Chain A
Amino acid sequence: GAGVSQTPSNKVTEKGKYVELRCDPISGHTALYWYRQSLGQGPEFLIYFQGTGAADDSGLPNDRFFAVRPEGSVSTLKIQRTERGDSAVYLCASSPDRILGTEAFFGQGTRLTVV
């Protein structure tokens, strides 16, 4: 596609439930990033993939959060036993090659609300 696509755009879930957020990066981009943005804050890094592997997952807040990118393209961010504090906009970005330091293109985000 023309840009990074994230689905769903909005997700409301009950506390304790499991959710999956999907990211379709720009075709051919090897690097993929997940960020979380709370109201009034800048995006906060969660995890970075280079190809299929998670090169840096140091931003994941705890073991309830997990992300995969099995074929080096689409990525899924998974949150178990959701808590109200998980409510935020989850942003995905992709870039052609991290080594070259090229810009990262962001999707519109998924707004997660845990009630």
Chain B
Amino acid sequence: GESVGLHLPTLSVQEGDNSIINCAYSNSASDYFIWYKQESGKGPQFIIDIRSNMDKRQGQRVTVLLNKTVKHLSLQIAATQPGDSAVYFCAERGNSGYSTLTFGKGTMLLVSP
């Protein structure tokens, strides 16, 4: 399928390394954040989420950190595998009424065996 990764910041790592993908979000009133993984030709796939009343949340091999002071979100992937290669997007949701998810620009992660 057609790549969604053109013109995106790229992080290249070796298999087994830990990866950190960063995201600066825009709305200080956002109350919910999600990291999505998108492989070529597919829709975004949920990885992990975090609410604004938390600063860290862990999943399987993944950790999300939230720093509301500087409006920064990061995704840490432990022991990165070739199957982790994809474009990663952070998304934020405002806290008013029917606010929807707003996506960041995305980062392409390339994992070499």
A complexed with B: yes
Considering only CB atoms, which chain A residue lies closest to B41 in the complex? A108
Considering only CB atoms, which chain B residue lies closest to A42 in the complex? B103
* Min CB gap A83→B, angstroms: 20
Q: Tell me whether A33 and B101 are in contact (CB under 8 A).
A: yes
Contacts of A93 in B (CB 8 A): 43-44
Report how many residues on chain A are interfacial, defined by Cβ distance under 8 Å. Answer: 29
Interface size for chain B: under 10, 10 to 19, 20 to 34, or 35 or more residues? 20 to 34
Q: Tell me whether A103 and B49 are in contact (CB under 8 A).
A: yes
Q: Tell me whether B44 and A56 are in contact (CB under 8 A).
A: no
Taking CB atoms and an 8 Å cut-off, the chain A residues in 77-108 that contact chain B are: 89, 91, 93, 98, 101, 103-108
Q: Tell me whether A48 and B2 are in contact (CB under 8 A).
A: no
Given the contacts A101-B31, A111-B2, A106 and B7 also touching, CB distance less than 8 Å:
no
- Indicate whether A50 reaches chain B with its CB closer than 8 angstroms: yes
Contacts of A106 in B (CB 8 A): 36, 43-45
Q: B18-51 interface mask toward A, CB cutoff 8 Å, 1 = contact, 0 = none?
A: 0000000000000110101000011111100101
Contacts of A39 in B (CB 8 A): 2-4, 6-7
* Min CB gap A109→B, angstroms: 5
Tally of contacts, chain A with chain B, CB under 8 A: 67
Contacts of A35 in B (CB 8 A): 103
Counting chain B CB atoms within 10 Å of each CB, the highest count among A40, A89, A111 belongs to A40
Q: Tell me whether A45 and B32 are in contact (CB under 8 A).
A: no
- Indicate whether A41 reaches chain B with its CB closer than 8 angstroms: yes
Interface residues of A (CB under 8 A from B): 4, 33, 35, 37, 39-45, 48, 50, 55-56, 59, 89, 91, 93, 98, 101, 103-109, 111
Interface residues of B (CB under 8 A from A): 2-8, 31-32, 34, 36, 41-46, 49, 51, 89, 91, 93, 98-106
14 A-B pairs with C-beta separation under 8 A: A39-B3, A40-B4, A40-B6, A40-B8, A41-B105, A42-B103, A43-B44, A45-B101, A45-B102, A48-B100, A89-B4, A103-B34, A106-B45, A108-B43
Closest CB pairs A-B (n = 8): A42-B103, A106-B43, A40-B7, A55-B98, A40-B6, A101-B32, A103-B46, A106-B44
